[in-house]
Structure 1
Amino acid sequence: MLDLIREIETDLEDGWEAASRVELQMAEHTRRAVARFARALWITAALLLVLNSERLVTWTNGFGVGPVQDTIVALSTAWNGQMQQAGVGAMSIAARDKMNEWRMTRWRDVEIRFDSEARRAREGAKFLRGVLDEGTG
């Protein structure tokens, strides 16, 4: 899309002055969409940096050998150590374990769970009605 904007800029003889109002609105809309996407990407990267530092170490260990790559690997390892000390790593491991548990659940197990919860709700309602009925008599 940005290439299209560049083509519009270069194809017009008089520059942006000759561009139609629609083209200007489309260009502005595209710039805003790219900016929103960039913000979302940075927020996602920051969350992953904090909540998934062990995967960061795994990813950076795949880098080639060189001074910049070695520095990045050392920084990611140190960051993972700090996150483990703070206990953030345990939180991500627990969340990952829970997600894996949900992935392994069969539909029959889900139906049994829903049925047992519905039964508990009915028993609780009967219990409450019983208490209310005793007080009114």
Structure 2
Amino acid sequence: MTVRDVVFPPGRQALYERNRYSPAIRSNGLLFVSGQVGSREDGSPEPELKAQVRRAFDNLNAILHEAGCTFDDVIDVTVFMVDPQVRFEEIWGVVQEFWGQAPYPTVTAVGVTWLYGYDFEIKVIAKLPERAAA
């Protein structure tokens, strides 16, 4: 059986343990990050949409940092949005604050009807730097 090499961001272990999933797994030089939402430390959603998107990126960046990565190491992104016809432009304006310079990662955007009380979620795969891949 493979032992999962789990990456936990500081201060959020209880949230992941309560919900029974790993925030990220290192495997074969890659980092697979679970979908990150705009949750506060206690797990409640950030109420305002732009703040929720920013917090989702903050939560994502905390995991990337703990694994020795930055968003520049991200190679694939999947985003989920509730009601994208109404919210896409507002969300995508915030996303660009974190996206960095070209070349950009691949991206898949999915419209959904429910995200457990959230309006935005981001899931990524990143290439681990050589020093962090061991």
Taking structure 2 as the reference length, what is the TM-score of the superposition? 0.22
Q: Which structure: greater strand fraction?
A: 2
**Larger relative contact order (CA 8 Å, sep ≥ 6):** 2
TM-score by length of 1: 0.21
Structure with greater proportional helix content: 1
